[in-house]
Structures are given as structure tokens and as C-alpha cells.
Structure 1
Amino acid sequence: MKVPLLSLLALLSCFPTGLLCRNQEERLLKDMMTGYNKNIRPVEKDGDVTQVTLKLTLTNLVSLNEREEALMTNVWIEMQWCDYRLKWNTSLYDGIDIIRVPSKSIWLPDIVLENNSQTYSANEIDLVLTNEEGRTVEWIVIDPEAFTENGEWAIKHRPAKKLINSHYSKDDLEYQEVIFFLIIQRKPLFYIINMIVPCVLISSLGLLVYFLPAKAGGQKCTMSISILLAQTVFLFLIAQKVPETSQAVPLIGKFLMFAMTVTTIVVMNCVIVLNVSLRTPSTHIMTNDVRQILLNFVPRLLRMQMSLWSPKDAQPCPTSRRRSSLGLIAKADEYVLKTARTELMFRQQIAREGLMKSVLQKIQNGLEGGTVQDLSNSLAQASPEVRQCVASCNHIATSIQKQNDFQNENEEWFLVGRVVDRVCFLVMALLFALSTVGIFLMGHFNQAPSTPFPGDPNRYLP
């Protein structure tokens, strides 16, 4: 019976202490809140300045909306100040040295994180950064246990500064401000795989049109325009993500505009090459200087596998431009439509047979006479017909020669088109390669600075 009694006495002896402690806290809180006005700044006399220390702890960098230029983060703001009305003598309250009071019951500094709308000026509140272990915390604190790393952005610098705007007086709210900086850099892997590499591959397809034949101008233009449409789609997608500002242009946007310009020039080159390839001697005259440059010097310089033109093949250039044969062709077509096909086939044959028959008959008559005089007379009579036959043969030979020259010059215009096409390919390939490397090297060297502020060696780190 003694053991339960002692236990009961011990249990009862604990209650008065707990009740006393609770009553002391209640009495302390009641004594402090008596006459306390939370709308009055805690200063003992007029002219005193309340010092408020600030500290910001970053727990998560959520996202950056580039179009709206808004950064979303999760942070804790720690503010410290001294309120002389909230002090007591611990000996009067059983040694209580800590008490928790609802924030709605006491005075709070009117300070917000963004768009500072504080009520008090620098004459009333002094904003400073927190001092820990004798050192000012001039950085955004990151708790490694609570911080969640962002998959798109990396934090390079996180300084904090108190700025005094000397353009304002202490009575102005803009005189003092504490700014927390976040200098972040994009992690490029996602954009390299999903935007840069596809964009470069699609743009490089524009150079493949030069591997089509010079006369395939329609296919070249179709392929180039298709690539141009694909680049336009990429540009439209990028325009939906970047801010609507004229102060800067993203590098991927610069590259797309450059690639679209190159593709447009490729289409123009295709049209020019097609125009040169389809030229004929009836519409254009090729001089020997053009042949020397585009059919001899340039192909040899580019090591093209084609027959080179030599000055030995030079032909005298006509003093005037050949007239177009479209009118003669139209008349010939009209004649063919009105004349029977059999008549067209046999008319010239009948004329040739009649001419030969007449010549042979006159020669035979001279041979039948048996004398030299008769043979001489028969040849004299047949000479006009013989001269006509020779003239006809010469006309045929000349016509065939002119046709061969026409075909050769047509072939030369086609070869000129090939040479121009190859020159355009080399120029555009070199321009595309150098400009692409240059644009993306700008992104490579566009790195975050080694220190947060130019000219300030302080790194603002713990």
C-alpha cells in the first residue's frame, strides 16, 4: 500500500508546477499585451529608427516564364527587429525567457518581397542584411536539405545588396531597398536535342539541292521552298516562347533568320542556274571570254570532271544577235497542218529524181553521138543541173554544220549552268558553315560572369 501512495503523491506534486507554468505564461502574455498597440512603431523616443534585418532562404526555383518574364520561386523571408515593449523580467515569471506570440497581435514591418509598398521611410525603419557570426549575410541562403534543383536552370550567383538611392531623400520610400539577385543560366541539353539539332539538320538540307542536275530547276525550287516552310514553322514555335521585346533577339531566332535567308538565296540561285542552262544560240550569244572563264579556268580551279574548252575551238562571234526563229517555226507548223503527209514525203524526192533523170539523159545523148564534140555539147547542156546538185549538197552540208554548232553551243550553255551551280554551292556551303559556327560560338561564350557584379571582386558567397 505504500508504493501506490508514494506514486500518487509524486503525480499530484507535478500538477501544481505545470499549472503554475501555464499560468505564468498566461500572466506574462497578459501583462505584455496590456496597453500594447500593434499599429505604433516600436521606438522609445521620437527620432529613433527601428532596424530591421532581412534574410532570404531559397527552397525551390520552380520555373521561368520567358514570355511573361516572370520567375517563380519558393522562399522564406526572415525579418528580425527589437520591440522594447515585448521585454520582461524573467525572475518575476519563474524564469520564462521565451514565449511565442501570434504575429497578428504585434507590430510588423510593412515590407513585401516584390513591388515594395512599405509605409515607413528611412527615417523610421532602417533595412539591413542579417549578421551572423560577425559576418553580413550578403547572399541568398540555400538549405541543401530542403532545396530542390531545377532541371532547366542552374543558379550561378545569388548575391544580396542594400542599395541607397541618393536621388531620393530619406523621406521617400524609394531611398533604401534591399535587393536579392538570382543570376541563372540555362542548361542547354534540352534545347540542343529538341530545337537546335533539328533546326540545323533541316537547314542543311537546303545545300543538297545543288546535287540535283542543273536543268532540274523545278525540283530544286520545290525542295527549297519546302525547307523554307519547315523553318517558318520552327520560327513560329520559338516566337511563342520568347518575350515580345525589341531589346534582344535569342540566338536560335538569329540562326533561323539566317537559315531562311540562305534558303531564299538558294532558290534565287536555282532560278539563275535554270535560266543559264536553258539558253540557246537563238536568244543569247556566248563570247569566247565567257568560254575561257566558265568553261576553262573555273572548272580547272574547281577540279570539275568535264571537257574543257580551248582557244583552238574558238569560233568567230557574229557581229549581230541572231534573230529568233519563232516566226519561221510558226509558218512551218502552219504549212505542215495544211499539206498532206504523203505530199510532204515525196515532193522533194520527185524533184530530185526528175533533176537526176534530166542530167543523165543529156549525158547519154552525147555518148550516143560517138564524137568528142557531142559529149562536150551534152556536158555543157547538163552543167546547170550539175551546179544545182552541187549547190544542194553544199547547202545540206552547211545546214548540218550549223545544226551541229547549234547543238554544241546548247551544250556549252548547259555546262556553264553546271559551273555556276557548283560555284553557288561552294559559296553557300562555306557561308552556312562559317555563320552557323559563329552564331553558336556566340552562345558558347555567352556565359555567366565569374563575379556577380562587374568590377566587384566580391563573390557574395558563404
Structure 2
Amino acid sequence: MHPERWLSRWYPAFGVWAFMVTSLIKDTAACESEERLFHKLFTHYNQFIRPVENVSDPVTVHFELAITQLTNVDEVNQIMETNLWLRHIWNDYKLRWDPKEYDGIEFVRVPADKIWKPDIVLYNNAVGDFQVEGKTKALLRYDGMITWTPPAIFKSSCPMDITFFPFDHQNCSLKFGSWTYDKAKIDLLIIGSKVDMNDFWENSEWEIVDASGYKHDIKYNCCEEIYTDITYSFYIRRLPMFYTINLIIPCLFISFLTVLVFYLPSDCGEKVTLCISVLLSLTVFLLVITETIPSTSLVIPLVGEYLLFTMIFVTLSIVITVFVLNIHYRTPTTHTMPRWVKNVFLSLLPKVLLMQRPLEQQKKSISRKTKKGSASTSGKSKHSKHKDSKLHKEQQCCHCDKAAELTTTKRRRLSHQSLKWMAEYTEYSPEVKDVISSVQFIVEDDWKYVAMVIDRVFLWVFIILCVFGTAGLFIQPLIADT
């Protein structure tokens, strides 16, 4: 075979082989350089000693908080659960090197438990570890600058103000600081003034309105030293759609059912049943709410106030309904209607409420019949002079007795017995008997009409109370926001 052809065939293979060998040599050299670097850095390194050249100098730690998720807000136990990234940046002079001596290596990843770390803890932690775990690695730069960003899930204490639940805002804080080092040993500096939310995953129930950080230098009663902490305040707002659809709107509908109690006729016999059913429904809703709000006696939540208002509302409707039913089933036989009741409930209030009684027309016709009947009776009395004198005296005696009875009840309506007696035992013309029967029917229905007027009065009163009471309660969060 010609040498040139042989070289042209195998030359690419030799090139690939040479590249692989060269890369392997370089990787081996890099691994050797990194191994030499680790050996150089950590041979005599003590991770328990603060990295300062002078003991009196503080270690300056730059701190930043990044939130990835607002996991849960537990109103009952008053705990806020968050998924966080805690970025720590400080300088360790003992971990420096010259990149030229180690094949240009500028960054190395080192286990966090191999280096000194600031003991930053969450002061107001409620459940779990106060300090983050050191299982993650730290990024070490050649000039000794260390960046350590461990993830952590914290459950912090958060006092909940549930006055306007479910239209409430909460202000929960996360207080970070060194547990053992005072300001003379560790000086915390905050990076930026806001929490990093670039990787935040939105919550379905809560919205973070603002998350700001502040540095504080505090002197505690236990110690003479000054301790530095960085506190992040999370101002969160509840998204009320879930509670509005599943709680508020059903309560509104149930409370408005109470108004219909006064529109329901008394003869149906279901007025009290409807009131009690509404009261039981509200009681069930109140039991549901007690499982979702904190057990506190300091404030009553807005929904609790509304349910309490509605329960009082329904209880009053039951009392009023019983009173109305008592009025409805009264008769002239058992109760005599006072004059003020007639003036107020039969004359004044119906005009104010634009109620027109169908029997008003009947009363007018009765008055016309009365005039005709009186004329007919006077004519008949002239012819009755020829009757037996004994019978005439008995009738006169009866009329005298009746006149005496009417005199004693002068300012009262004729009783049911007197009307019945007049209709059965006196001799009047058919027109007068019709008048007496009609008056008797009207007297019996006066109590029912009074009950109807009372129902109509409380119908409007409860509509006004329900509308303005509901608006007054639920407008409070808007006023508080402004």
C-alpha cells in the first residue's frame, strides 16, 4: 500500500487519539491540582476558630433571604411555614490561594461542615430546628470569599390578628441572628432591603404584599454585649375567594331567609319551623368556622360577628313570630281589642305601609245597608203595634237589656256573643241580619289583620337591619385598609 494513502486513512484516528490523551492528561493534572489545593487548605485548618487575623476584629457576614414558597399559614396554632434560601457571604483569610499555582483554579466547592460557619439561627422558630443543616456545600473563591446558600424549611411563630377574617392581613416576621457571637465577634450586614422573590412560587390562599428586611442592634437583659439581628417582615394578605364562596355567600342567603319568615302566612303553620331551621344552619356554620380560626378570646373574627349578629337576628324573629301567631289566633270571644290597637294597627300603620284591606269595601257596603235596614226597621215597627202586647213587652224588655249592654261597652266593639244573639233572637229585616253577620265576620278577622300588619312592619325592619348590618360589617376591612 502506498504510504501516502495509508497516512491519509489513519491520520484522523491519530488526531482523535491524541486529543483524548491530551484531555486526559489535563484532567489528571487538574484533579491533581485540586487535590493539592484541598490538601494545602485543610491540612492545618480548624473549623471551630473564627477566621480573623486579630482576635478583636469581627467577622463581617453579609446575609440575604430568598423565599421560594409560602407553604402554610396555620391560624389555629399561629405558625407560618416557609421554604427559604439563606445566603451567607463572608471572608476566610485562611482559605486563600494563588490560581496560577493550581492550574488557574479560582473556585472550589467544599463541604460546609469542613469550614467555619456563622451560627445564624431563627430566633422565633416554633417547630423543628432553629439552625439550618450543614449538609450543603459552600462556594469558595481564591481570595477567601465564601458563599454558602443552604435551603431550609422554617416554621416560625406569627401572632395572628383575625379581626377581619377572612379579609385579614397578617404581619409575620423572621428574626435571624447569631446565637452565641455578639456584634464584636460577628457583624451582620443585610444585602438589599427586600426579600429575594425571583424564584417564589405563588400560594393559592395567601399573597405576599411586601417583604422587607431591617437590621437591629439589641442589648438583652441577660448580657452586657450588643447582639445584631436581621428581621424580615412579611406583610401577607389572605385571598378570600374560597371563604367567600363556601362560607360568606351561604351565610348571606341563610340570613336573608329570615326575612321571608315575616312574609310567610300565619295559617301555613311553618313560620316557627323555618326560623328554627335557619338557626340550626347558622349553628353548623359556626362550628365549621371554629376549626379554621385561632382559639383566642382577645378578638371576635368578622365572620363570627356576622354569624352572631344573624343568630340574634333569627332568635328575635322566632320570638316575634310566636307573638304574631298569638295575635293571629285571637278571637273576639277570648280577647277584646283595645282602642289604641285599632287606631295604630287598623288605621295608621296600614296607610304608612301602603296596605289596603279588602274588607274596607265591604265595610262601606255594610254602612249603606245599615241605613236601609234602619229605615225598614222603623217602618216595620209601626205595623208591629197590632201584635200581641205581651210579646211586644218582651221584645221591648229585650231591647232595653240590649241597650244597657251596649251602653256599658260604649267605646268597645260589639262582642261576638251579642252579635250572635242579635242575629238569632231579634226580629230584624233580612238587610239588618246581613249587616250583623258581616260585622261579626269583620270583628273575627280584625285580629288576623293586626297580625298581618305586625308581620309587614317587621318584614321591612328586618330587611333594613339585614342590609345595613351586613354592609356595616363587611365594609370594615375596606375602611381599615384605607
Q: Do both share a fold (TM > 0.5)?
A: yes
SS of residue matched to 1:99 = strand
Q: Which amino acid is 1:400 matched to?
A: M
Could you tell me whether the CA contact under 8 Å between 2:62 and 2:89 is conserved in 1?
A: yes
Say whether 1:399 aligns with 2:433: no
CA deviation after TM superposition for structure 1 residue 291, in Å: 1.7
Q: What is the distance in 1 between the residues matched to 2:18 and 2:452? A: 113
Q: Where do 5+ consecutive residues of structure 2 fail to align?
A: 1-5, 132-178, 365-385, 403-417, 424-435
Structure 1 or 2: larger strand share? 2
Q: Which amino acid is 2:422 matched to?
A: I
CA deviation after TM superposition for structure 1 residue 267, in Å: 0.7
SS of residue matched to 2:261 = helix
Q: What is the distance in 2 between the residues matched to 1:185 and 1:51? A: 35
Q: Which residue of 2 aligns with 1:350?
A: none
Q: Which amino acid is 1:278 matched to?
A: Y
Which of residues 433, 440, 443 in structure 1 aligns to 2:477?
Answer: 443
Could you tell me whether the CA contact under 8 Å between 2:219 and 2:225 is conserved in 1?
A: no
Alignment CA distance shift 1:14-1:279 (3 Å): closer
Alignment CA distance shift 1:7-1:195 (3 Å): closer
Q: Which residue of 1 aligns with 2:263?
A: 211
SS of residue matched to 1:286 = coil
Say whether 1:153 aligns with 2:206: yes
Q: Which residue of 2 aligns with 1:247?
A: 298
Q: Which residue of 1 aligns with 2:431?
A: none
Could you tell me whether the CA contact under 8 Å between 2:359 and 2:442 is conserved in 1?
A: no
Say whether 1:64 aligns with 2:73: yes
Say whether 1:138 aligns with 2:147: no
Give me the identity figure in percent: 33
Q: Which residue of 1 aligns with 2:381?
A: none
Per-residue deviation, residues 112-165 of structure 1 (Å, max 9, x unmatched): 2353672222221111112xxxxxx1111112xx43222222221111111233
Q: What is the distance in 1 between the residues matched to 2:184 and 2:228? A: 10
Q: What is the distance in 1 between the residues matched to 2:224 and 2:36? A: 40
Q: What is the distance in 1 between the residues matched to 2:95 and 2:357? A: 99
Q: What is the distance in 2 between the residues matched to 1:399 and 1:9? A: 135
CA deviation after TM superposition for structure 1 residue 226, in Å: 0.5
Which of residues 458, 466, 482 in structure 2 aligns to 1:432?
Answer: 466
Q: Which residue of 1 aligns with 2:236?
A: 184
Q: Which residue of 2 aligns with 1:287?
A: 338
Say whether 1:22 aligns with 2:31: yes
SS of residue matched to 2:108 = coil
Which of residues 189, 199, 203 in structure 1 aligns to 2:251?
Answer: 199
Q: What is the distance in 2 between the residues matched to 1:398 and 1:157? A: 82
Which stretch shifts more, 120-129 or 163-172? 163-172
Which of residues 121, 124, 134 in structure 1 aligns to 2:185?
Answer: 124
Q: What is the distance in 2 between the residues matched to 1:417 and 1:409? A: 14
Q: Which residue of 1 aligns with 2:59?
A: 50
- The correspondence of residues 4-403 of structure 1 with structure 2, limited to 5 A, is 11-113=20-122, 114-115=124-125, 118-130=179-191, 137-143=192-198, 146-165=199-218, 171=224, 175-214=227-266, 218-281=269-332, 283-306=334-357, 383-384=389-390, 386-388=392-394, 391=397, 399-400=421-422
Could you tell me whether the CA contact under 8 Å between 1:66 and 1:241 is conserved in 2?
A: yes
Q: Which amino acid is 1:289 matched to?
A: W
Per-residue deviation, residues 163-191 of structure 1 (Å, max 9, x unmatched): 23356587558x32211222121222222
Could you tell me whether the CA contact under 8 Å between 1:51 and 1:125 is conserved in 2?
A: yes
Could you tell me whether the CA contact under 8 Å between 2:279 and 2:314 is conserved in 1?
A: yes
Q: Which residue of 1 aligns with 2:379?
A: none
Q: What is the distance in 2 between the residues matched to 1:423 and 1:232? A: 27
Q: What is the distance in 2 between the residues matched to 1:206 and 1:47? A: 75
Alignment CA distance shift 1:7-1:253 (3 Å): closer
Could you tell me whether the CA contact under 8 Å between 1:54 and 1:80 is conserved in 2?
A: yes
Could you tell me whether the CA contact under 8 Å between 1:161 and 1:178 is conserved in 2?
A: yes
Alignment CA distance shift 1:284-1:385 (3 Å): closer
Per-residue deviation, residues 344-365 of structure 1 (Å, max 9, x unmatched): xxxxxxxxxxxxxxxxxxxxxx
Alignment CA distance shift 1:12-1:421 (3 Å): closer
Alignment CA distance shift 1:404-1:79 (3 Å): same
Q: What is the distance in 2 between the residues matched to 1:236 and 1:304? A: 42
SS of residue matched to 1:74 = strand
Equivalenced residue count is 371
Please give the TM-score of this superposition, normalised by the length of structure 1.
0.71
CA deviation after TM superposition for structure 1 residue 224, in Å: 0.2
Please give the TM-score of this superposition, normalised by the length of structure 2.
0.69
Q: Which amino acid is 1:260 matched to?
A: M
Could you tell me whether the CA contact under 8 Å between 1:215 and 1:278 is conserved in 2?
A: no
Alignment CA distance shift 1:278-1:33 (3 Å): same
Per-residue deviation, residues 74-133 of structure 1 (Å, max 9, x unmatched): 221111111111112333333322222111101111112353672222221111112xxx
Per-residue deviation, residues 288-315 of structure 1 (Å, max 9, x unmatched): 3332222111111111021699xx99xx
Alignment CA distance shift 1:16-1:277 (3 Å): closer
Alignment CA distance shift 1:10-1:414 (3 Å): closer
Alignment CA distance shift 1:285-1:5 (3 Å): closer
Q: Where do 5+ consecutive residues of structure 1 fail to align?
A: 131-136, 314-378, 450-462
Per-residue deviation, residues 231-257 of structure 1 (Å, max 9, x unmatched): 110111111111111233322222111
Q: Which has the larger radius of gyration?
A: 1
Higher relative contact order (CA closer than 8 Å, sequence separation 6+): 1
Could you tell me whether the CA contact under 8 Å between 1:90 and 1:96 is conserved in 2?
A: yes
Could you tell me whether the CA contact under 8 Å between 2:207 and 2:236 is conserved in 1?
A: yes
Per-residue deviation, residues 184-229 of structure 1 (Å, max 9, x unmatched): 212222222221111111111111111122455x521111000000
